[in-house]
Amino acid sequence: MPTERNILAATEELLSRGVTEVVVKKHLAERLRSGKKLRVKLGIDPTGPKVHLGRAIPLWKLRAFQDLGHQAVLIVGDFTAQVGDPSDKLSKRPMLTSEKIKQNMATYQVQLGKILDMPKVEWRYNSEWLTKLSFLEIARLAESFSLQQMLARRNFKERLGKQDDISLRELMYPLMQGYDSVAVQADVEIGGFDQLFNLLAGRKIQEHYGKEQQDILTTQMLEGTDGRKMSTSWGNVVTIVDEPNEMFGKLMAVKDELVPKYLLLCTRLPEAEVKQISKSMKGAGAKAAKVKMASEIVTLYHSAKAAQQAAAEFNSVHRDKAMPTEVPTVKIPAGKKKLAITDLLVHVKLASSKAQARRLVEQGGVKVGGKVISDWRAEVALKSGLVIQVGSRKFAKLA
């Protein structure tokens, strides 16, 4: 059984590690000390099929609440994903179809089981209540907000300044997320810092219905492999279901200055150890810290053995310039003797589109049979055993 001291330490870490803001901190701390079982809400819109490390940060906070005995309420935004969350978006987010949303969330429970104690999670879909709202009820909810409040949001202000479109649909999103808090009777809501406006809307809408306002905890945002905010739409993500070798390789490509942040937000290492590793990042220490970070994350989502094997594979490919032990094999298209390099990269799934394939070639990152391809218009003679390489980590072989 955890001691009172351990519970106090866990509570302090919950309210501070990777946290940007707590509303209202004193109130939430008192509730946590009171022993009352709180209903802790986290919403996740299925805008992509895989959960990435950035999204995992608030999920681990939800797990921390679970470990302290509170009720985790996980809302899958099957309705709100169709509308599109404008938070931190500098252009209009497209509306998703219900079919696409179903595809995206097909394996969510399995993925989230890597983080949450799933048998104890209250799993909800917000279509359950949002589809039942009348237009009049939505109009009444909208009365709680002014246009000036909505347009004061940083991303809306920037888009307005550039005369980019802002749809009325986007302005309605905070109302829907806020209504979720009423529907599930949330005591606390967790989210990334970019969600603060939406989370505060939940307090306002709870007040509209005469309910006690939820406390709010927001977490730091995580940069992706290119230094921008980690985002599925930008493709700069490390997902929690990436294969160990792929996950390790992506993490080793993270910028050195981001390693302390990844250690703090993406591992379970004690904060004191994170600080110690971060201070050691000078010269050769930077490489060692990055290896430690990558190993800890692969261990968290796979196993210590998988992390050891991934580290050995990484050294073999990058330090010793050897071929990976496992290279995906792709059949040569029937009847084809040649293919344009852009078509070939798409065929072997090393590029998602011809446009991306062209960019990869122009950047000098494509090799065929060990030779760099510099002309995106080039044609490649196809033969069994031919190895195609993109960057230092992605390979495919023709069969």
Q: Give me the torsion for CA of 343, 345, 346, 349, rounded to 10°.
A: 160
What residues contact residue 79 under an 8 Å CB cut-off, 6+ apart? 125, 126, 127, 130, 131, 176
CA 132 to chain CA mean position, Å? 30
Residue 226: per-residue pLDDT: 87
Residue 40: per-residue pLDDT: 98
- pTM of structure: 0.79
The two structure tokens encoding residue 399: 């069969």
Provide the residue type at 218 as one letter: T
CB–CB of 390/359 below 8 Å?
A: no
Cα-based distances in Å from 362 to 102, 366, 373: 37, 9, 9
DSSP 214-267: PEEEEE---B-TTSSBP-GGGT---BTTS-HHHHHHHHHTS-GGGHHHHHHHH-
Residue 92: per-residue pLDDT: 59
Spell out the domains of the chain, with CATH numbers in brackets: 4-224 (3.40.50.620), 244-318 (1.10.240.10), 329-398 (3.10.290.10)
The two structure tokens encoding residue 11: 């509570």
Spans of the chain below 70 pLDDT? 1-5, 86-94, 319-325
DSSP state of 52: B
Q: How many CB atoms lie within 10 A of CB 54?
A: 24
Q: Is 43 exposed, middle or buried (0-12, 13-18, 19+ CB in 10 A)?
A: buried
Residue 320: per-residue pLDDT: 54
What residues contact residue 56 under an 8 Å CB cut-off, 6+ apart? 115, 240, 266
What residues contact residue 108 under an 8 Å CB cut-off, 6+ apart? 44, 46, 51, 76
